[in-house]
């Protein structure tokens, strides 16, 4: 009753109050599918003895994101139509100078058996700040810090957001979550990489794997990873992998017999398939069905 009724309410007929009415359904909250799959994959890495890398810096220098990975400064991935460069702060100053000199030298002249690229490497290009385009930038920082101490073998992983200045479509947004694993030890081979990949993906329910030669600027050899998806009845590309090149590892100061095998995949693709989402935008916004 409100003041509008004043005294008229006496002449009105009200229905009986239903004290057993259930009321509006409350409904419980639920974890976002991406977070559920991220937690599942994090548990797989931890059970395999991997340690999580610190990924809490979306802003990175071109040096750690590209140059340290032996990715040449004229590589198309370094164009602003593929990469988000920052205007403020536009450049980084804090780089380990002795290491920068070794990176410059390996780009220009090679070394460790490599011919290098033979171009004039520019420091101002390496200083440019950007939103990291892959979590391999975090891997390069971790491997560099590993090389500053007496060498011990390590297994690292990361699962976090990366940013690409690309056209968005049904299956691509300007950002996605990259999952990356790496094993750093003496005398690792491609066989070790294939073994780790079979172990990792089998824990995700993907057993039949196939590998196809591929190219990455920072790994040699490189392999695309495919798995036969029973539900979709077709081979699905499930990631990329390779062995980090000596031109990346040796300037860091890692011993000559240390090898690093690594692989990557996205978090969105498995989540979309596991949750039957066919448009990546349906993973975000109010229409998420769980
Ligand atoms: C710009 O796009 C890159 C992204 C993303 C990707 C690709 C490569 C890497 C890498 C790497 C790397 C290589 C060497 C050393 C270190 C890291 C990381 C993410 C996925 C990688 N891909 C991908 O995730 N596919 C995928 C993964 C799991 C999956 O599970 C389903 C339950 C069955 C299904 C699909 C492969 C493709 O989707 C590809 O078209 C899209 N790729």
Give pLDDT tens digits for 26-37. Answer: 888 889 999 999
* pLDDT at residue number 2: 63
User: Which residue puts its alpha carbon closest to atom 37 of ligand 1?
Assistant: 237
* pLDDT at residue number 232: 83
Q: Token pair of 1, please?
A: 């009753």
- List beta partners, residue 225: 211, 239
- The CA-atom distances, in angstroms, between 43 and each of 7, 137, 173 are 67, 23, 26
Q: Which pTM does this prediction carry?
A: 0.89
pLDDT band at 1 (very low <50, low <70, confident <90, very high): low
Whole-number Å distance, alpha carbon 238 to ligand 1 midpoint, is 5
pLDDT band at 202 (very low <50, low <70, confident <90, very high): very high
User: Residue 140: CB within 6 Å of ligand 1?
Assistant: no
User: Which residue puts its alpha carbon closest to atom 31 of ligand 1?
Assistant: 270
Read off the pLDDT of residues 59-71 as tens digits, 9 standing for 90 and up.
999 999 999 999 9
pLDDT band at 166 (very low <50, low <70, confident <90, very high): confident
**Residue 282 pLDDT greater than 90, yes or no:** no
User: Which residue puts its alpha carbon closest to atom 11 of ligand 1?
Assistant: 264
Whole-number Å distance, alpha carbon 241 to ligand 1 midpoint, is 9
Whole-number Å distance, alpha carbon 265 to ligand 1 midpoint, is 3
Q: What is the chain's mean pLDDT, rounded?
A: 93
């Amino acid at each position: 009753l409100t003041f509008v009724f004043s005294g008229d309410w006496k002449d009105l007929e009200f229905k009986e109050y239903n004290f057993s009415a259930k009321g509006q359904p409350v409904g419980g909250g639920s974890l976002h599918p991406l977070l559920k799959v991220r937690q599942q994959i994090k548990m797989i890495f931890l059970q395999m003895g991997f340690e999580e890398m610190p990924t809490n810096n979306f802003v990175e220098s071109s040096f750690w994101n590209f140059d340290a990975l032996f990715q040449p400064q004229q590589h198309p991935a370094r164009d602003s139509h593929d990469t988000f460069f920052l205007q403020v702060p536009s450049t980084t100053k804090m780089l380990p100078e002795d290491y920068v000199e070794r990176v410059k030298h390996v780009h220009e002249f090679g070394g460790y058996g490599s011919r290098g690229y033979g171009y004039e490497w520019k420091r101002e290009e390496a200083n440019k700040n950007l939103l990291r385009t892959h979590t391999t930038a975090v891997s390069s920082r971790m491997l560099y810090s590993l090389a500053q101490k007496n060498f011990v073998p390590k297994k690292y992983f990361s699962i976090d957001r990366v940013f690409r200045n690309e056209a968005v479509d049904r299956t691509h947004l300007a950002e996605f979550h990259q999952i990356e694993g790496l094993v750093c030890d003496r005398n690792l081979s491609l066989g070790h990489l294939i073994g780790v990949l079979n172990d990792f993906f089998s824990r995700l329910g993907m057993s039949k794997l196939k590998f196809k030669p591929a190219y990455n600027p920072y790994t040699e050899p490189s392999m695309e990873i495919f798995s036969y998806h029973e539900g979709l009845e077709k081979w699905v590309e499930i990631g990329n992998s390779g062995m980090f090149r000596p031109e990346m590892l040796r300037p860091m100061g890692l011993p000559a017999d240390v090898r690093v095998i690594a692989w990557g995949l996205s978090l969105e693709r498995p989540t979309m398939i596991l949750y039957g989402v066919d448009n990546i935008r349906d993973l975000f916004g109010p229409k998420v069905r769980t």
